[in-house]
């Protein structure tokens, strides 16, 4: 079987929000072809690698990706054709050098990532290995705890409800990944019935979670806890809560503006708010509790509750190894969110994950709000043994496909499979 790259072809497709994104096919010399699609975020960090968009207001509101496609065909392909698809690090390094900018703004992180993932998938297929095993080797046998975003707020709900962007369930008490998915589905449907009984909207946000109008940021947690009990499960013992406030979205002039509660808090008060929240509710993980530019606030938060729960940095780190290294040195969190398109290549994503794990930090793999049916992150999560991931509610095809792929992987592994459960986190579950 040959591993020589013979052709790279890119096309424009739609993501889950109806916006254009790029899909890349990598064809090897013997005709084997692999495909990868690139997601896009709604709540994005300032330090993220840059997408290349056309900016033509007459087409897709300026969001077209014909320029990114052109970069794949005219700039990247001539350099990579003839290369061995197994040489992932070298291929990614070539694209980074071709781009020559700090944030991949010349070629576009979307163009570079599409090629990076398509090449990896082609190499796996040519090797005759499933993607998770190709990337992770024979030790890739642990299935992650799925964190399902079943209530949406903030920008994901167009600010119609809570300020906090994501309220997730974490079925860490299950015995298998399949059972965890089953529990998640049952809780999701129990929550839908509960909302209907209370006369609340069951319309959903970008990631499939319900987005009712609520009067506080605690209300969604209480509704979810009731749904967990209704589904016959024990809050805290069987299923915990994870929250992503995406606080950069409501941080302005050094203050946190909680619109849903008509309150404005300074960083110290915000830390106190979270401290009370994790005391009152079974919260195992808090992501982006402080804004991306509030480094002192992050340090306060970690000093206050970092010994009790997993504190995940997303916007502040943007899956960037250099920024993560600074965060580790300054001790501002204990985990990092891992998003492929924040940094733009598979090699750099793996480096970011390893850096976190080598320093005792957690690595929490994530989808984006503008997703595709590509399930690459499901395989990658198992390959890198991160123990947990979030990829939306157990609804909507682009979200469910990741859970379905994880169930396929678990089935393929058979008796060798294990489930991360409560060991998924860098801090022991307290409930």
Tell me what the pLDDT averaged over the chain comes to. 96
What's the number of CA atoms in the CB half-sphere (13 Å) around residue 342? 30
160 has pLDDT over 80: no
Are 85 and 3 in contact by the 8 Å Cβ rule? The answer is: yes
43 has pLDDT over 90: no
Model pLDDT for residues 243-288, shown as the tens digit of each residue: 999 999 999 999 999 998 899 999 999 999 999 999 999 999 999 9
Give the residue-averaged pLDDT of 408-427. 98
Binding-site positions for Mg(2+) read 244, 287, 314
Output the CATH code of domain 4-128: 3.30.390.10
Binding-site positions read 156, 165-166, 244, 287, 314, 339, 366-369, 390
Token match 């209300």: residue?
219
Binding-site positions for substrate read 156, 166, 287, 314, 366-369, 390
pTM above 0.85, yes or no: yes
At residue 215 the predicted structure's pLDDT band, cuts being 50, 70 and 90, is confident
Give me the pLDDT at residue 161, please.
72
Residues 6+ apart with CB under 8 A from 282: 225, 235, 236, 240, 241, 430, 431
Domain ranges of the chain: 4-128, 142-423
38 has pLDDT over 60: yes
Residues 6+ apart with CB under 8 A from 33: 25, 26, 27, 122
157 has pLDDT over 70: no
Binding-site positions for (2R)-2-phosphoglycerate read 165, 339, 368-369, 390
Catalytic (active-site) positions = 207, 339
| Rounded CA separation 291/349 (Å) | 22
Phi, psi at residue 273, to the nearest 5°? -60, -50
Interhelix angle 376-384/346-358, nearest 10 degrees: 30
Give me the pLDDT at residue 205, please.
85
- What's the alpha-carbon Rg for the chain, to the nearest Å? 21
User: 3-state DSSP call for residue 162?
Assistant: coil
- Right CATH number for 142-423 from 3.20.20.120, 1.10.287.130, 3.40.50.2300, 2.70.98.40? 3.20.20.120
């Amino acid at each position: 079987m040959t591993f020589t790259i013979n052709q790279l072809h890119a096309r424009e497709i739609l993501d889950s929000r109806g916006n254009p994104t790029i899909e890349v096919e990598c064809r090897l010399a013997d005709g084997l072809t692999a495909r990868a699609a690139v997601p896009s975020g709604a709540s994005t960090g300032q330090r993220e690698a840059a997408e290349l968009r056309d900016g033509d207001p007459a087409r897709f509101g300026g969001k077209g990706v014909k320029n990114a496609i052109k970069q794949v065909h005219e700039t990247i392909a001539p350099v990579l054709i003839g290369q061995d698809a197994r040489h992932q690090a070298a291929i990614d390094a070539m694209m980074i050098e071709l781009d020559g900018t700090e944030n991949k703004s010349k070629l576009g992180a979307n163009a570079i990532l599409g090629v990076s993932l398509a090449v990896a998938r082609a190499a796996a297929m040519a090797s005759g290995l499933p993607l998770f095993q190709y990337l992770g080797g024979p030790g890739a046998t642990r299935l992650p705890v799925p964190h399902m975003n079943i209530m949406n707020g903030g920008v994901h709900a167009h600010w119609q409800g809570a300020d906090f962007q994501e309220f997730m369930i974490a079925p860490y008490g299950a015995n298998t990944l399949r059972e965890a998915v089953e529990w998640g589905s049952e809780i999701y449907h129990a929550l839908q019935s509960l909302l209907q009984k209370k006369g609340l909207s069951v319309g959903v946000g970008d990631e499939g979670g319900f987005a009712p109008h609520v009067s506080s940021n605690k209300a969604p947690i209480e509704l979810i806890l009731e749904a967990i009990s209704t589904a016959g499960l024990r809050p805290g013992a069987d299923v915990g809560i994870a929250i992503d406030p995406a606080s950069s979205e409501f941080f302005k002039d050094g203050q946190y503006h909680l619109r849903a509660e008509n309150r404005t808090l300074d960083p110290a008060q915000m830390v106190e708010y979270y401290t009370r929240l994790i005391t009152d509710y079974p919260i195992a993980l808090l992501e982006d509790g402080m804004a991306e530019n509030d480094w002192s606030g992050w340090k306060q938060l970690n000093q206050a509750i970092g010994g009790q729960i997993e504190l995940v940095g997303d916007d502040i780190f943007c899956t960037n190894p250099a920024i993560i290294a600074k965060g580790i040195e300054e001790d501002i969190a204990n985990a990092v969110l891992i998003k492929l398109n924040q940094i733009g290549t598979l090699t750099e994503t793996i480096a970011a994950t390893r850096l976190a794990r080598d320093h005792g930090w957690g690595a929490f793999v994530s989808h984006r709000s503008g997703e595709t049916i590509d399930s690459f992150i499901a395989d990658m999560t198992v390959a890198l043994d991160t123990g947990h991931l979030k990829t939306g509610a157990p609804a909507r095809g682009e979200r469910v496909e990741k859970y379905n792929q994880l169930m396929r992987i678990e089935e393929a592994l058979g008796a060798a499979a294990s489930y991360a459960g409560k060991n998924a986190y860098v801090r022991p579950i307290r409930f």
